[in-house]
Amino acid sequence: MKTDVSCPECGAKSLYRTTTNANGGHGPALLPGLGGFFRFAQFEVVACAACGLTRFYAEQPARTKLPTARQWVRI
């Protein structure tokens, strides 16, 4: 991800990112069928400190499994 980017919502340059599991835990599995054996798929989460816009991006290994994962249907 580029380091000199601005928020698409408000234009601020106050974006922060982290990585988190998409396993569900106490909620739904958000990337079902895209993890590995004993490993859940992950999201890179980007949030704007100015306006609060938050976006979730599936990690590359999870994205490569999309065409063959039976839980996902191409639209």
> How many helices (H) and strands (E) in the chain?
1, 3
pLDDT reported for residue 29: 80
Tell if the pTM clears 0.85, that is, is over it.
no
CA dihedral 20→6→3→50, nearest 10 degrees, is -50
Q: What is the pLDDT of residues 8-52, one digit of tens each?
A: 999 999 999 999 988 867 778 888 889 888 888 999 999 999 999
pLDDT reported for residue 3: 64
Contacts of 73 (CB under 8 A, 6+ apart): none
Categorise residue 30: left if φ over 0, alpha if ψ from -120 to 50, beta otherwise.
Answer: alpha
Residue 21 contacts residue 58 (beta carbons within 8 Å): no
pLDDT reported for residue 2: 59
The residue ranges of every structural domain in the chain are 1-75
Residue 54 contacts residue 9 (beta carbons within 8 Å): no
